[in-house]
Chains A and B, each alone.
Chain A
Amino acid sequence: MNPYQTYDARILEVKDLTSREKLFTLRFLDPEVEAKFDFRPGQFVIVDIRGFGEFPISICSSPTRRGYFQLCIRKVGRMTKFVHKMKEGDVVGIRGPYGNGFPMEKMEGSNLILVAGGLGMAPLRSVLWYAIDTGKYENVWLLYGTKAYEDILFRDEIIHLLKHGEAMNCSVKLAYEVESPSCIYLERGFSDRVCKGVVTDLFRGEEFDVENTYALICGPPVMYKFVIRELLDRKLSPGRIYMTLERRMRCGIGKCGHCIVGTSTSIKYVCKDGPVFTYWDALSTRGLI
């Protein structure tokens, strides 16, 4: 079987998340492919717009919800601009899933701290719903840093979890940078959980059982260093810190070489060895974060 061949998937729904991001709900046309398609939170697929090119994108839905998968796509370049013009019923090519994903089984029974910055919410949403749906995790905290109220991805879900998360053992905290009436309203409603600032501000006053907690981080490259410092300050072991990384992935299967990071003693392919790495990996592989 040619690993570069893609499978047809139909767009079931297109939803505007923000002015830049859209949520695409897809399903494979071939029932056999659909039945076989399984993934772990944190894995990605390669989207193929035939005749125009391919791009990697992380899956933002949870594997617990069968029959479809979702991709949150930000309009940033030529390809994504093209995708944003697509409508319900259109067909794209998909290959994957690729990458290692988060070790969900290993973390069962523990607390999860999800730290998301901006578009980093997309892969972590998969973890979030997986954890809530399976109920196999102690407590789930979501610390989400966003630019403005208008940029909050999955805003309805986030607000729903702000209101009713307790019942699902899920606690959401939100930091925004640009003030707006909507943010002030949110802050008034959830004064203990919404604040103006950056995502690391959400750690203030937060204590957790380091023996029984895993942290999962995804965000812009600049965020990792600061978030990791907060976690290490609270004595969380580097092996319990998982990060999912972005690189230019052309093939997704460790051939094309674009996502190689590291030095003479340790080289990693982000597409194949990652995109999920622990902080130990970052300590032994230069250039990872």
Chain B
Amino acid sequence: MRYIKLSSKNFGRFFKSLEAWGTLYAPVKRGCIYSFQEVHDPGEMALDYNRTMLPPKKFFFRPKEAILRLKNGRWEEEVEAEPMVLFGLHPCDIHGLKILDKVYLDEPADPYYKSRREKTLIIGISCMPDEYCFCKSLGTHFAMDGFDLFLHELPDGWLVRIGSVRGHEIAWENGELFEEVTDEDLANFKEFEEKRSKAFQKELPQEGLADMLDLAYNSPVWKKYAEICLACGNCNMVCPTCRCYEVCDRWVDAYKAVRERRYDSCFMENHGLVAGGHNFRPTRLDRFRHRYYCKSYFDPSAGYNCVGCGRCDEFCPAKIEHVKVLEEVRGSLQ
């Protein structure tokens, strides 16, 4: 890793220089929520944001998109990818993209996701946790890779970690904007990280979590929460690692059709429905439990399918708390 410093006075020029790499998207405040939107001026950004409603997955795996177009009886590909710069991603979202990468870039790679991913620059930014964050207990509160540049806040600027060749290129091309890191900066960086580490209010203890949950398959806690749950699927939509999709064909006119895919939710009744009407997850309890098991699945090479961003809690209309459900399920074993 290479470390450099970007002082506050150079931030504006640095921001402008990124425009050469693609359309800039950054968190902005819209009403009471934050959202990744196209920005042209540093002033538009809300870099002190806690979390956006939709995670950055929306840039790669779109809420709704045409994948094939039918013309003259043949499917034509619909791969359009513009160069993008995603500015200000939190470590949990960077981890979320890594989990999506594992699925969508695994052979055979999804061409839509892949082309967008390849053309996108990721610039991370440090954050302070709020009452919903539990990324620290999942190890996703710090990004070691998966970004081009990562900006850590310092009193007078940013400590920049360079995470890729493209990151090096940006630093190289804008050499005059960056300085060497001083001992004082390092002390500030260390102090910030320590302060941040202590600021987490929520924790999901990992010890034996996957096994405990598996053993508690018949726990009454699942039932209790399934009854509270509205099965609206909000948690799936806002989750940075949920990526189920549904496909349908739509006629544009008598000669043209499009094959579209859109976000799907495992809370929907038809998620496990097969031809003939057999449903592999017929009840809300089955579907509720399925989502929690999918999120808590522990992959030895990639960790959990959850990054602890807290979106599912914040945007749940029934106020169901992810950590609380898992803790109660685990507790019900005794």
Interface set of A (CB-CB < 8 Å, partner B): 1-6, 48, 50-55, 74, 76-77, 80, 93, 220-221, 246-248, 250-251, 253-258, 260-267, 286-287
B214 engages A263 (CB within 8 Å): yes
A267-B274 in contact (CB<8A): no
On whether the beta carbons of A3 and B210 are closer than 8 Å, the reply is no
| 26 A-B residue pairs with CB within 8 Å | A2-B79, A3-B109, A3-B110, A50-B75, A51-B70, A51-B249, A54-B247, A74-B275, A221-B278, A221-B280, A248-B271, A248-B273, A253-B108, A254-B103, A255-B104, A256-B261, A256-B264, A257-B243, A257-B266, A258-B272, A262-B293, A263-B297, A264-B293, A265-B211, A267-B293, A267-B297
Q: B3 an interface residue at 8 Å Cβ cutoff?
A: no
Main secondary structure of the interface of A (DSSP, over half): loop
| Complex-state Cα separation, A74 to B247, whole angstroms | 21
Q: B104 to chain A: which residues have CB within 8 Å? A: 255
Known: A51-B70, A52-B249. 9 other contacts (CB 8 A): A3-B109, A3-B111, A4-B67, A48-B75, A77-B276, A248-B273, A265-B211, A266-B297, A267-B294
Q: How far is the CB of A127 from chain B (nearest CB, A)?
A: 22
Known: A5-B75, A264-B214, A267-B294. A256 touches B247 (CB 8 A): yes
Say whether B247 contacts A250, CB under 8 Å: yes
Task: State whether A53 touches B249 (Cβ < 8 A).
Answer: yes
- The interface of chain B, by Cβ under 8 A from chain A, is 67-68, 70, 73, 75, 77, 79, 103-104, 106, 108-111, 209-211, 213-214, 217, 243-249, 251, 257, 259, 261, 264, 266, 271-278, 280, 290, 293-294, 296-298
Q: Max chain A CB contacts within 10 Å: which of B73, B209, B271, B275?
A: B275
Query: Which of A1, A51, A264, A286 has the largest number of chain B CB atoms within 10 A?
Result: A264
Most buried by A among B264, B274, B296: B274
In contact, B111 and A2 (Cβ under 8 angstroms):
yes
Among A3, A80, A247, A258, contact of B244 (Cβ-Cβ < 8 Å): A258
Complex: chain B residue closest to A222, CB-CB: B278
The contact of B296 among A77, A254, A255, A264, by CB within 8 Å, is: A264
A43 CB → nearest B CB, Å: 15
The CA of A253 and the CA of B105, in the complex, are separated in Å by 11
Q: What's the least CB distance linking B211 to chain A, in Å?
A: 6
Interfacial chain A residues near B243, Cβ < 8 Å: 255, 257
Q: For the complex, give the distance between the alpha carbons of A236 and B248 in Å.
A: 44
Q: CA of A220 to CA of B277 in the docked complex: distance in angstroms?
A: 12
Flag if A247 contacts B274 (CB, 8 Å): yes
Q: Is the CB of A50 within 8 A of B73?
A: yes
Q: How far is the CA of A54 from the CA of B275 in the complex (A)?
A: 12
Which A residues touch B293, using CB under 8 A? 262-264, 267
Using Cβ atoms and an 8 Å threshold, which residues of chain B touch A76? 275-277
How far does the alpha carbon of A220 sit from the alpha carbon of B278 in the complex, in Å? 9
A-B pairs, top 8 by smallest CB distance, nearest first, are A257-B244, A51-B257, A3-B108, A264-B210, A264-B296, A263-B293, A264-B213, A76-B276
Cβ-defined contact, A50 with B70, below 8 A: yes
A274–chain B nearest beta-carbon distance, Å? 13
Known contacts A93-B75, A267-B294: A247-B108 contact under CB 8 Å? no
Chain A min CB distance to B98 (Å): 16
Residues of A within 8 A of B271 (CB): 248, 258
What residues on A are CB-neighbors of B296 within 8 Å?
Answer: 264
A255 to B75, Cβ gap below 8 A?
Answer: no
Q: Are B280 and A247 in contact (CB under 8 A)?
A: yes
Kindly state the separation between the CA atoms of A93 and B257 in the bound complex, as whole angstroms. 15
CA distance A262 to B244 in the complex (A): 16
Q: Please indicate the chain A residues that have their CB under 8 angstroms from the CB of B297 in the complex.
A: 262-267
| Chain B residues near A258 (CB-CB < 8 A) | 244, 264, 271-272
Q: Could you tell me the distance in whole angstroms from the C-beta of B283 to the nearest C-beta in chain A? A: 13
Question: Are B209 and A264 in contact, CB atoms less than 8 angstroms apart?
Answer: yes
For residue B213, give the distance in angstroms from its CB to the closest CB of chain A. 4
Q: How far is the CB of B238 from chain A (nearest CB, A)?
A: 16
Knowing A5-B68, A51-B70, A265-B214, the reply to whether A256 touches B274 (Cβ < 8 A) is: no
CA distance A267 to B103 in the complex (A): 13
CB proximity of A202 to chain B, nearest CB, Å: 24
Rounded to whole Å, the gap between the CB of A233 and the closest CB of chain B is: 26
A261 neighbours in B (Cβ, 8 Å): 280
- Are A2 and B294 in contact (CB-based, < 8 A)? no
Hey, which chain A residues are within 8 Å of B266, CB to CB? 257
Q: Which residue in chain B gives the minimum CB-CB distance to A5?
A: B75
CB within 8 Å for A247 and B73 given contacts A50-B257, A257-B243, A264-B298: no
